[in-house]
């Protein structure tokens, strides 16, 4: 047995132990038909990423589950990897090139992609190395990248299959356009932010009826340049006579019709809605129903492309000019302040423009149905269940998914255009001959696929799909997905419908949702607030185990948590407690007699109590982990180690350890080691480093705690009677300590303790526990009797169920010194009372002092009076 260092210093052990685990291939999973598989796929962090508290929480939770299942004997695979993060990476590389004075287009597509791959090489492993510092036991031998050869092949396979099935098509539809990133984005990437805006009320003249107008209200006056109709509700009596008539569209010289459509809410605004099919998703649908023209009024950079006075203006510049012109022409009725949700790009925070564009789409109606059914039948479940509603709501209202992006970095769309006849050929490789005209000249589509298209395949593409690999057959479907609630729409839903469509199986059975890590004030951590906390800084100061414990303390699925430095210090204190207790136990093991002959029958009541407690703990923690109650499980382990094991049991056995003649010393040492090993195993998934270091020094049979057997509940370790008996002793000790605390008696002051009870069985419990009860109760002698005979009348007492405990007053207090102290206190209080009475009887003070000061003095008088009564009563008692 090796000796632990005197002081616990995580910096001395964590990197060394992690390298040991890597060298030993303990994280590596392989197909083993003799074991059940358990698989988790790591949400692939972006190659632009930096480890933040969200990553730390997410990966700690995954690591806890994978370590737990590994110890249970499963072939546990935690599949890691990184995401190419198309938009984020392209923006980073473009910014870097700008600093070097290089324009993306000067390099050309191939040259730019080389720069992107250089970026990936330089930064792609950064966050992975940081996850190593967290203790993440992912199978790094299997690390994948969303643009590696295998994952890229899976992307092409899915695109072609969905296209051939009619689920992927190219068409003109309303999409979300980011004028800054100059690419389309999906609905899930649009973040709706409340902004203060305005409603501009505008009169559209009715053609042929001078002086008659239709009043509309809009939050985007510039879009009127693309209006092709005004709609009213067909049931609205106010406007039935103008349906079918034409209106003058101000500032354009165009005329547009009035159409009737049930989409219009009669009660909202004026009941008349301007229809701009090319710049609003609802208007787009109205336009389709009424065969309206689609006029795109903006360029990709959000400047106006309509010939006339506003041509070339930025959208907001055009808005101001249009409003002024409307006002000059007397067509601006009024302007009303209006707070509304505005769609912004979640990456660059730019206001998104809905715009009709030719893009590639995935038809979602049919693919959504199996994903909806999976939740309803229980094939898929969310923890907490409430997040299933978010999932269902999105799927039941899903629109076709725009998957093309106007980027160079990413999976290029495998669509090839015949230069002779324009035929589109979709294939995994460039075609040699056009199936329509026989031409041989092709150009590939310039666009790339939405990043989420590839990450939607992550659970099976990482295991070798579309090939029928052993890994895929054994490890798929995976088991649990751990992720934040903010990514359900982006990723979870897409993985589910993609997995069901491509493999016929739901990619996982459980989605464990966690909340955000907020600062101590409950604010979201962000660069703008400057309140972000670097997990690596925490690790450098306190160690990875302390950070992991902090992130899980009080953690409940789905709930946000607040980060407090005080909690990290508490976690570090707990680690110190475990370390110091282990050192104490190991030192006593070194000096202990042979424990080979120890049996359950030879254990004392206290030994059986703690063995029974750790046995129950194993059962409870297992149940909690199986229900994904990670925070509850950790709290139970923490409470057991700190309170039951360290504060109670170790103190109970010290008299036996220090007594060379005690026949039960071997049993005590055996119990200490056995319980410590089991407690370390239960703690290991949460705090892997400290448990590994102690475990490997405590015993020599196993080289790592990582693959040691998870503690199982044992019927022969269930000692309910001893548990009850020991709880009685603990209650008595707490009662004694409470009395002594009230009397300010120091622990060094020993007293005779009488336990009085007519219950012989109860007295028997104290008889069996006499040595450690005396030690814990600060007793110089323990007397057990059935009545109060021989107990001094001034003895102080405490009551527990079925017994009373007495301690002679003289044993607790040096009466002479106490009388001297009380007389000094009496004299001090006499002075305070005289002063207080004098002030309150002084008319000048009472008439001139603020009322608050007078009230404060009255409170002091009352307090000193009560204290004086107590002092006099105590003196009377002592003086007889």
Residues 126 and 52: beta-carbon distance below 8 Å: no
Phi, psi of 436 (to 5 degrees): -95, -50
Q: Considering the chain, what is the average pLDDT of its residues?
A: 92
Cα(294)–Cα(277) distance, rounded to whole angstroms?
5
Of 417-426, 569-578, 839-848, least confident by mean pLDDT is 839-848
Q: What is the pLDDT of residues 143-152, one digit of tens each?
A: 999 999 999 9
Site of tokens 């890994």 = 471
What residue spans define the domains of the chain? Answer: 183-354, 544-718, 723-812, 815-879
The reported pLDDT for the residue numbered 374 is 97
pLDDT > 80? residue 700: yes
Q: How far is CA 187 from the centre of its chain?
A: 24
pLDDT digits (tens, 9 = 90+) for 624-674: 999 999 999 999 999 999 999 999 999 999 999 998 888 899 999 999 999
**What pLDDT score does 563 carry?**
86
What pLDDT, in 10s, does the model give residues 456-496?
A: 999 999 999 999 999 999 999 999 999 998 888 889 999 99
Q: How confident is the model at residue 597 (pLDDT cuts 50, 70, 90)?
A: confident
pLDDT class of 141 with cuts at 50, 70, 90: very high
**Which region, left, alpha or beta, applies to residue 408 given φ > 0 means left and ψ of -120 to 50 means alpha?**
alpha
Ordered DSSP codes for 101-117: T--HHHHHHHHHHHHHH
Instruction: Record the tokens describing residue 30, joined without a space.
Output: 């392989």
Dist. CA 319–CA 400, nearest whole Å: 31
pTM of the model: 0.86
300-347 pLDDT tens trace: 999 999 999 999 999 999 999 999 999 999 999 999 988 878 888 877
If one compares 133 and 797, the residue with the highest pLDDT of the two is 133
Express as a percent the part of the chain with pLDDT over 90. 75
CATH of domain 815-879: 1.10.287
Between CA 40 and CA 57 the distance in angstroms is: 15
Instruction: Name residues whose C-beta falls within 8 Å of residue 534's C-beta, 6 or more positions apart in sequence.
Output: 51, 52
Highest mean pLDDT among 113-127, 367-381, 521-535: 367-381
Q: Find out whether 145 and 82 touch, Cβ atoms under 8 Å.
A: yes
pLDDT-derived band at 518, boundaries 50, 70, 90: confident
Mean per-residue pLDDT, 400-426? 95
pLDDT band, residue 750 (cuts 50/70/90): very high
| Residue 632: predicted pLDDT | 95
Which parts of 161-239 are beta strand (E)? 168-178, 183-185, 190-205, 213-218, 229-232
Q: What is the three-state SS of 479-527?
A: CEEEEEHHHHHHHHHHHHHHHHHHHCCCCCCEEEEECCEECCCCCECCC
Strand 381-383 and strand 229-232: the pairing is unpaired
Q: Residue 880: what pLDDT?
A: 65
CA distance 221 to 197: 12
Which of 214, 226, 237, 239 is CA-nearest to residue 295? Answer: 226
Instruction: Check whether 831 has a pLDDT greater than 70.
Output: yes
Task: Provide DSSP, 626-683.
Answer: HTT-HHHHHHHHHHIIIIIIIIIIIHHHHHHHH-TT-TTHHHHHHHHHHHHHHHHHHH
**Positive or negative torsion for Cα 695, 701, 703, 709:** negative
Does 544-718 carry CATH code 3.40.190.10? no
pLDDT of residue 349: 81
* Cα dist from 56 to 49, 134, 136, 182, 844, whole Å: 12, 7, 10, 32, 66
* Res 373 pLDDT > 90: yes
Residue 228 has pLDDT above 70, yes or no: yes
- What local confidence, expressed as pLDDT, does residue 246 receive? 96
Q: Is the pLDDT of residue 218 over 80?
A: yes
CB atoms within 10 A of CB 853: 12
pLDDT on residue 766: 94
Q: Using pLDDT thresholds of 50, 70 and 90, give the confidence band for residue 229.
A: very high
| DSSP structural state of residue 555 | -
| Sole residue written with tokens 């492993």 | 125
What is the reported pLDDT for 88? 87
Pick the CATH number of 183-354 from 3.90.740.10, 3.40.50.2300, 3.50.50.60, 2.60.120.260: 3.90.740.10
Q: What is the mean pLDDT of residues 734-755?
A: 90
Which pLDDT band holds residue 50 (cuts at 50, 70, 90)? confident
**pLDDT of the residue at 331:** 96
For the annotated binding site, the residues are 527
Binding residues for ATP: 527
Give the DSSP per-residue string, 837-869. HHHHT-HHHHHHS-HHHHHHHHHHHHHHHHHHH
CATH classification of 723-812, choosing from 1.10.3470, 2.40.128, 2.40.160, 3.30.2320? Answer: 3.30.2320
Question: How confident is the model over 707-728, as a mean pLDDT?
Answer: 96
Ranges of H-type helices in 141-206? 149-164
């Amino acid at each position: 047995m090796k000796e632990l260092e005197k002081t616990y210093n995580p910096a001395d052990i964590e990197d060394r132990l992690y390298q040991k685990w890597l060298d030993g291939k303990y994280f590596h999973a392989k197909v083993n038909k003799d074991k059940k598989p358990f698989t988790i796929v790591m949400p692939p962090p972006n190659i632009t990423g930096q480890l933040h508290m969200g990553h730390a929480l997410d990966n700690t939770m995954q690591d806890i589950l994978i370590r737990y299942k590994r110890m249970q004997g499963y072939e546990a695979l935690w599949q890691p990897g990184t995401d190419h993060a198309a938009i984020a990476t392209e923006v980073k590389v473009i910014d870097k090139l700008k600093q070097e004075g290089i324009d993306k287009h000067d390099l050309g597509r191939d040259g730019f992609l080389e720069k992107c791959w250089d970026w990936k090489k330089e930064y792609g492993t950064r966050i992975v190395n940081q996850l190593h510092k967290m203790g993440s036991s992912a199978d790094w031998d299997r690390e994948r990248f969303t643009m590696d050869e295998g994952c890229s092949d899976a992307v092409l396979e899915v695109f072609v299959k969905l296209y051939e099935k009619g689920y992927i098509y190219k068409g003109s539809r309303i999409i979300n356009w980011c004028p800054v990133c100059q690419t389309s984005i999906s609905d899930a990437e649009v973040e709706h932010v409340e902004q203060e805006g305005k409603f501009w009320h505008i009169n559209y003249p009715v053609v042929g009826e001078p002086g008659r107008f239709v009043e509309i209200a809009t939050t985007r006056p510039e879009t009127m340049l693309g209006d092709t109709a005004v709609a009213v509700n067909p049931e609205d009596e106010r406007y039935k006579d103008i349906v079918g008539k034409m209106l003058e569209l101000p500032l354009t010289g165009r005329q547009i019709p009035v159409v009737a459509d049930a989409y219009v809410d009669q009660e909202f605004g004026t009941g008349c809605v301007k229809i701009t099919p090319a710049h609003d998703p609802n208007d787009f649908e109205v336009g389709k129903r009424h065969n309206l023209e689609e006029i795109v009024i903006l360029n990709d950079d959000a400047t106006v492309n309509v010939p006339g006075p506003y041509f070339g203006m930025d959208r907001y510049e055009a808005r101001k000019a249009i409003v002024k012109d409307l006002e000059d022409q007397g067509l601006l009725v009024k302007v009303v302040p209006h707070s509304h949700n505005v769609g912004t790009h979640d990456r660059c925070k730019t206001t998104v423009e809905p715009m009709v564009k030719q893009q590639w789409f995935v038809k979602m109606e049919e693919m959504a149905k199996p994903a909806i059914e999976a939740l309803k039948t229980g094939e898929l479940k969310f923890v907490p269940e409430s997040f299933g509603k978010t999932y269902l709501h999105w799927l039941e209202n899903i629109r076709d998914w725009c998957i093309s992006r106007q980027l160079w970095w990413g999976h290029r769309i495998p669509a090839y255009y015949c230069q002779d006849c324009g035929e589109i050929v979709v294939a995994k490789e460039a075609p040699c001959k056009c199936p329509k005209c026989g031409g041989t000249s092709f150009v590939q589509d310039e666009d790339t696929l939405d990043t989420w298209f590839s990450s939607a395949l992550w659970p099976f593409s990482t295991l070798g799909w579309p090939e029928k690999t052993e890994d895929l057959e054994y490890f798929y479907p995976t088991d649990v997905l751990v992720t934040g609630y903010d990514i359900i729409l982006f990723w979870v839903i897409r993985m589910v419908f993609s997995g069901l469509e491509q493999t016929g199986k739901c990619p996982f059975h459980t989605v464990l949702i966690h909340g955000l890590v907020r600062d101590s004030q409950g604010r979201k951590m962000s660069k703008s607030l400057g309140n972000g906390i670097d997990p690596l800084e925490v690790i450098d100061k306190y160690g990875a185990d302390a950070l992991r414990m902090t992130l899980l303390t009080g953690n409940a699925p789905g709930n946000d948590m607040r980060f407090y430095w005080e909690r990290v210090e508490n976690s570090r204190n707990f680690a110190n407690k475990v370390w110091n207790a282990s050192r104490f136990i190991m030192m006593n093991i070194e000096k202990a007699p042979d424990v080979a002959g120890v049996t359950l029958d030879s254990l004392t009541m206290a030994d059986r109590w703690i063995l029974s407690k750790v046995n129950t703990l194993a059962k409870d923690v297992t149940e909690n982990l199986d229900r994904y109650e990670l925070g509850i499980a950790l709290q139970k382990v923490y409470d057991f180690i700190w309170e039951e094991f360290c504060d109670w049991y170790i103190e109970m056995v010290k008299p036996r350890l220090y007594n060379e003649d005690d026949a039960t010393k071997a049993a005590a040492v055996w119990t200490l080691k056995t319980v410590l090993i089991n407690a370390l195993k239960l703690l290991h998934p949460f705090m892997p480093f400290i448990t590994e270091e102690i475990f490997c020094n405590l015993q020599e049979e196993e080289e790592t705690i990582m693959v040691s057997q998870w503690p199982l509940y044992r019927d022969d370790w269930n000692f309910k009677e001893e548990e009850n008996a020991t709880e009685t002793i603990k209650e008595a000790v707490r009662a004694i300590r409470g009395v002594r605390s009230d009397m300010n008696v120091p622990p060094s002051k020993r007293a005779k303790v009488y336990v009085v009870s007519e219950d012989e069985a109860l007295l028997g419990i104290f008889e069996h526990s006499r040595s450690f009860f005396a030690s814990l109760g600060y007793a110089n002698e323990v007397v057990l009797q059935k009545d109060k005979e021989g107990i001094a009348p001034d003895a102080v007492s405490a009551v527990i169920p079925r017994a009373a405990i007495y301690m002679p007053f003289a044993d607790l207090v040096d009466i002479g010194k106490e009388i001297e102290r009380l007389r000094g206190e009496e004299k001090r209080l006499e002075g305070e009372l005289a002063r207080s009475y004098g002030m309150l009887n002084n008319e000048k003070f009472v008439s001139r002092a603020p009322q608050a000061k007078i009230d404060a003095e009255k409170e002091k008088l009352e307090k000193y009076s009560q204290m004086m009564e107590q002092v006099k009563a105590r003196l009377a008692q002592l003086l007889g």
